[in-house]
Structure 1
Amino acid sequence: MDVLAKITGIKYTPFLCRSLNLYNISELESALNKDSAFILNVQNKQLALSWWVSPKRTRSYPYARVYDTLNFQGKRLTIIPILKDEGKEGDRDFLQWDTISLMSLLGIYVVISYYKSAERSSKYKHKITNQKFDIQHIEEEINNLLSYQSDALHWNLSQVEKVGQIAQKALNTYQRISKTLDIEMHSEETAQKRIDELLKGKDAFMKLSRELAKKAQSRESITVQPKERLSGTKATLTIKNYLGGYYFFTCDEVKIEEEKIYLIEGKHSKHSAIPSIDDIKDGLLKMILFTNLKEVKIGAVKYTPIPILKLTTDIKFSINNLRKSQIDNLRLLKKEAEVNGFQVLINNKNLSLLLPKE
């Protein structure tokens, strides 16, 4: 099933953002070691900063990190590595255009950076760990951002112009790390081919990313993850923005009832009474998109979208099995759903029916 929709702007109020610690710019390296998201004080100005462990959005909950900065009223920034190579026995991921587009849509300024150092893994012969960003590069970009007057979209487009050069720096760094630590990395040749494409500029990056995103979307639409407990049809969801750009997503579950289309994002827990707060926040980023969709169509037929965050567990859900902090989070989640216009189900029961009266 292929669903098409438009987004003309984002209107959303988050309630589950955690309290963020405050650091000075001189403490940036320490802050990146301690916190996945924080407030940074630079030249008596503040911005909310999050960072991605990998450019791939399915690793290390980057959406949850970004979500935690959403109720900050000033500039919100996220740092994303252009490339992460963990060594031949680990993963290698490249940044995609869609990730930048999504951040632009959310009003998040992106700094595309790269890892400069790493350590040998104690478990695997050809794997590295504890990778660290080039702090000087990030500080320079943050200082540039402070005086930048335009919106996140235009800043992010200017960052994209540099992807080729940054990717080349990343590859050169991994070559040095490989020699220094005597660890074999993934094929240098295939990475260089990709970087040569990126060096052609923004349009080449968009084209390459779009082709890969379409392929990934197609693969994902026929794959049920073990962490998902779903009963409807999986679907591709292609969103067009007001500038004519496209975002390629999958919808975990879609159900159609007359003129309504239920767009369902599923989060599952095998061993806990409820999915983790990071899983929930990851799902909420999809709710931000789903609650702002216009002109939702399958073919020529228009539907009214009903967004649903579906939480499932292998353990029978009981409010009595939850800690007070988990119940408090569910109350905030209920409020977020009501204010922003989506539903939350836990094992197919509406959240509002499961929570005790306050």
Structure 2
Amino acid sequence: MDKALSKEATFILKIDDKNQIAVSWWVSAKRTRSYPYARVYDSLSFAGKKVTIIPIVKDEGKDGDRDFLQWDTVSLMSLLGVYVIIAYYNDATKKSRYENKITEQRFDIDYLKNQIKELLSYQSDALHWNLSQIDNIAEIGKKALDSYIKISQKLGVEMHSKESAEKRIAELKKGKNTFMELSRNLAKMAQKRESVTIQPKEHLEGIKGTITITNYLGGNYYFTSDEVELYDKNIYLIDAKHTKENKLPSLEDIKDGLLKMILFTNLEDVKIGNEKFTPIPILKLTTAETFKIVDMNKSQKEMFEVLKKEAQINNFNILLNKHKIL
């Protein structure tokens, strides 16, 4: 497994003749680094259990960044049916040319193996597994911070404040508690069939919108759409990907957008207040003004054709530089 983690962003882990799982992993807890959504997306076609490994915190040292896992990341994975293993780094290398910065961080492999072993025999769904991961957040957080203390001593690198990290980790637990309280309050009203509700906080036109999705368990999940537009009884939910170059946005960027399309295409009972709307999911791609479809190279054309097929099969629209493709 350690070899796979060093070479592949997403892979199938064969445990034995009967058991295998799809594994993706996040370089950092922050979704804007290293395209973690694209990594998760690549695992979704697997028929068995899908797991993603996310570090609870990634500290690059005082001369670098520090990112923390957030509750909405766990929520999104739960909605997608992806099991989360909240993990931690326990080894690293000092980065040259920086006095207090580390690189090539490596997960505690023994911890991951134990978690995967436990997951293989776990009978409930991803939501309940992920909630149990949050229950252990204090213990995982302590392991992470203790590991960074050892890395700091071993490499002679100063890390960020331990005290502020402890406060941030405690916030994760609050997110879970709020979710559970909302779930309990709404459970009485939950219908037997699964349905979801989307509630932008205000009537928006072409600007970012806040979305609340409620699943059949009554739990509330909070997300955003890059742009929301209303036309008659239709609500356009737009996820936008942009490049300044004379070509399509990168494949990783597009996969990131496709993950949002999975959510938006599965919405039911969509309301603003008490008024019902029909959701229209749109993946919006923008490029340099000089871009022309006919000038795309072979690989870009192939990718574009596959994207159009996916849009047809899964019922979302594609906008390319304001032109409707599907």
Provide TM-score, normalisation by structure 2: 0.87
Task: Compute the displacement of 1:318 (Å).
Answer: 1.7
In the alignment, does 2:12 pair up with 1:39?
A: yes
Residue in structure 2 matched with residue 241 of structure 1 by the alignment? 215
Residue in structure 2 matched with residue 289 of structure 1 by the alignment? 263
Contact 2:179 2:220 in 1 (8 A): no
User: Could you say what secondary structure the match of 2:33 adopts?
Assistant: coil
In the alignment, does 2:239 pair up with 1:269?
A: no
- Alpha-carbon separation, structure 2, partners of 1:288 and 1:54: 23
> Alpha carbons of 1:338 and 1:51: their partners in 2 closer, same or farther (altered >3 Å)?
same
- Alpha-carbon separation, structure 2, partners of 1:266 and 1:36: 24
Residue in structure 1 matched with residue 58 of structure 2 by the alignment? 84
State which of 131, 144, 151 in structure 2 corresponds to 1:177. Answer: 151
Letter in 2 for 1:177: I
Contact 1:273 1:315 in 2 (8 A): no
User: Could you say what secondary structure the match of 1:294 adopts?
Assistant: coil
User: Could you say what secondary structure the match of 1:131 adopts?
Assistant: strand
- Alpha-carbon separation, structure 2, partners of 1:324 and 1:117: 42
Residue in structure 2 matched with residue 65 of structure 1 by the alignment? 39
Letter in 2 for 1:258: D
User: Could you say what secondary structure the match of 2:77 adopts?
Assistant: helix
Letter in 1 for 2:217: L
Letter in 2 for 1:113: A
Letter in 2 for 1:104: S
> Alpha carbons of 1:118 and 1:315: their partners in 2 closer, same or farther (altered >3 Å)?
farther
Q: Show structure 1 runs of 4+ deviating over 4 A.
A: 207-210
Task: Compute the displacement of 1:329 (Å).
Answer: 1.4
Letter in 2 for 1:307: P
Residue in structure 1 matched with residue 24 of structure 2 by the alignment? 50
Residue in structure 2 matched with residue 342 of structure 1 by the alignment? 316
Letter in 2 for 1:204: K
Letter in 2 for 1:283: G
Task: Compute the displacement of 1:302 (Å).
Answer: 2.2
Letter in 1 for 2:148: Y
Provide TM-score, normalisation by structure 1: 0.80
5+ long unaligned stretches in structure 2: 181-200
Contact 1:273 1:316 in 2 (8 A): no
- Alpha-carbon separation, structure 1, partners of 2:85 and 2:173: 19
Residue in structure 2 matched with residue 192 of structure 1 by the alignment? 166
Residue in structure 2 matched with residue 96 of structure 1 by the alignment? 70
Residue in structure 2 matched with residue 299 of structure 1 by the alignment? 273
In the alignment, does 2:115 pair up with 1:141?
A: yes
In the alignment, does 2:174 pair up with 1:204?
A: yes
Task: Compute the displacement of 1:345 (Å).
Answer: 1.0
> Alpha carbons of 1:194 and 1:254: their partners in 2 closer, same or farther (altered >3 Å)?
closer
- Alpha-carbon separation, structure 2, partners of 1:63 and 1:334: 20
Contact 2:74 2:130 in 1 (8 A): yes
State which of 140, 158, 163 in structure 1 corresponds to 2:137. Answer: 163
- Alpha-carbon separation, structure 1, partners of 2:254 and 2:65: 25
Task: Compute the displacement of 1:295 (Å).
Answer: 2.5
- Alpha-carbon separation, structure 1, partners of 2:284 and 2:44: 22
User: Could you say what secondary structure the match of 2:145 adopts?
Assistant: helix
Could you say what the CA RMSD is over the residues aligned between the two structures, in angstroms? 2.1
Task: Compute the displacement of 1:209 (Å).
Answer: 9.3
User: Could you say what secondary structure the match of 1:264 adopts?
Assistant: strand
Contact 1:96 1:209 in 2 (8 A): no
User: Could you say what secondary structure the match of 2:139 adopts?
Assistant: helix
Task: Compute the displacement of 1:205 (Å).
Answer: 4.7
- Alpha-carbon separation, structure 2, partners of 1:205 and 1:175: 27
5+ long unaligned stretches in structure 1: 1-27, 211-220, 222-230, 353-358
The higher relative CO (CA closer than 8 Å, separation ≥ 6) is in 1
- Alpha-carbon separation, structure 1, partners of 2:53 and 2:167: 24
